[in-house]
Structure 1
Amino acid sequence: MQPPLIPLNEDYKWKLLSEILNVFDSRATRQILSRRGILPLQKSIPAIKIVLLSMFFSSDISYVVREIEERESLRGFLKTNTVLTENQIYSTLSKYDPEEFIGFIIDTLNNACPKRKRGSRGIIIDSTDINLQLNWNAKKISKKSLEEKEYKWGHSTHRGFFIGMKLTLALDHSTLKPLAFLINEANVAEPKIYPMILSELKRKRITKAGDIIFADRGYYSYENYAISIKEFKVVPLIFPRKNCNFRKLFNMMAYPLNIFDSKRDTNAEISVYKRIIAKFKELISDWKNFRKVRSIIEDVFKLAKKAYSMENLHRYTKRSVQKYCSLAVLLVGMTVNIGIRKKKDLQVLAE
């Protein structure tokens, strides 16, 4: 039996959710929704608030709708007189383009969270499993039977074998603000995802020359070190494997040929690459001391899964998963923006 949803001012979870939902009352957020085509606002805002409420308290949307209908205090908490049905909520959200919906989430976080400070910054990258609740124990599901599906068999140290997708998230090291994320099939290897997430960060103009990328050894490959510097001008602190040949690796750190283009300031470009390569050699030789930096993203994923209902999803299309995960990223981003960033605080909230 699910507990009643009664807003309590003295309960820290209700206080936290209230601060998160307040962002939808701002003019800036409404402008972002309109610009991204998340319309009409009189339906989109109540629908998003209801889904966020259901995720925050790990409740079914149908149950949340019934609670809203029965409790005036809950309608007051959501600041809405519009009580959408479950079908109306799903129908409203299904109309939105996933890329525009993701754009709305990132734009909202950029507007609400502190701006980037001058100088280089650290970006933490990691992936986690998205388990879809298919009863594969009752009926054997082969790889061949999933060839035409958007979800696939995958394996993670956290869950073992599962059927679903994979979320890759990039966080600002100092603020834990989500910067970008991707949804891939569960069987896409992390070394292949690495250039994808860097491309996404570059496309959104998030990374700058000299930024440091923290990633565990799951993303390890000689090629990923090289392209980080040559194509993206970032310092790739990908934790190396035991068999890493550092002499071979350092020999691969060459300038791209396009810096000799007549339209470029070749000397300035060479100076930038020299600084990046020098920083890379300095950090990679001391990579073990940065384990704690990268490990914080594991607590962020735990928060999303345990506290914000991403542990097991009842969604079976990439469009739906993208939007649901987007809202989980929004909850995480607003939570850390409010000030819950320390490892212990994240763990307590996730329990």
Structure 2
Amino acid sequence: MTTNFALTRRHAMAGAALATLAAPRAMAQAYPARPVRLVVPFPPGNTSDILARLVAEEVQKRRGVTVVVENRPGASGALGVQAVTGARADGLTLLVTTQSPIVVNPPLMKNPPYDPVRELSPVALFARTGFILIAAPDFPANSMAEAARVLRAGPAGRFSAANPGLGTLSHLAMALMALQLGTQIESVPYRGSAAALVDVTAGRVPLMIDGFNSAVPQVRGGKAKALAVVARQRSALVPDVPSMAESGVPELAELEALSWTGLFGPAGTPPEVAAWWTAALGEVMRDPAIVEKLAQTFIEAVPPNSAEAFAQEIAADLAKWTRVVRDARIEQQ
């Protein structure tokens, strides 16, 4: 019997090509064939952890798939991120994180242990948390416009601002505000928001930019003044506080600091996986009961747009905070 090896080889190559073309469709039909692991790079109780567990529970209930949450804290989120960058890009190991390990921490590192742009695939942004500028009760201003005049009038560094730690979004947002006002505001870092807020409400430190969930209760309790939401638009979660764009200070009209939570896969994650999760997260984040539940903790549910839109937002945020670290001369670690 004579075998035509050339013809056999052509048939094999054609078959391989057809198999490659069919693979995405097969994955879309079968995904997820096994349990999905959501890695959270922070300890239990963090915003990412709360949202990951909510998503896991709701997706299991709605789609009948097994989703497991795994906390991998350490090294400012790097350990959890690397647990995902080193995984197979099959959609079975995904990352749920706030913006810090993706767009805030890398510019602050001399030698980042990972490249969030090259080693991760953005899947979906599905929640946001706003930030607010607050002042101590005795601070000599009751609005952002008044505060801007006070900050510019005194000698550079006369006023200080608390933050929950060097390199946090709170720290960088205040540094950006100082740059835009053309003044200096001394950074006073603490270990977490709770300790920082104690000194702000006691009048020992006059200013702080912090997340809604920790700062707004202090305002509503009469222990601090709300000067502005650090965003271009007023927030529905804190409707009585004007935005920076409404502050009457033109230099601050574009000042915005928003903490987002998103889903990522390893680089090369198939678009079919992103589409599956975009649809699943959309179901969860459009549920009125979920929207209300999250709003009670000052978290805004965001039905995902697309992986491409998320990637664009990441690129813009990374460029912005890289510029702030450079222009404010924040020392890299």
The two structures have a TM-score, normalised by structure 1, of 0.23
Structure with larger Rg: 2
The two structures have a TM-score, normalised by structure 2, of 0.24
| Greater share of residues in helix | 1
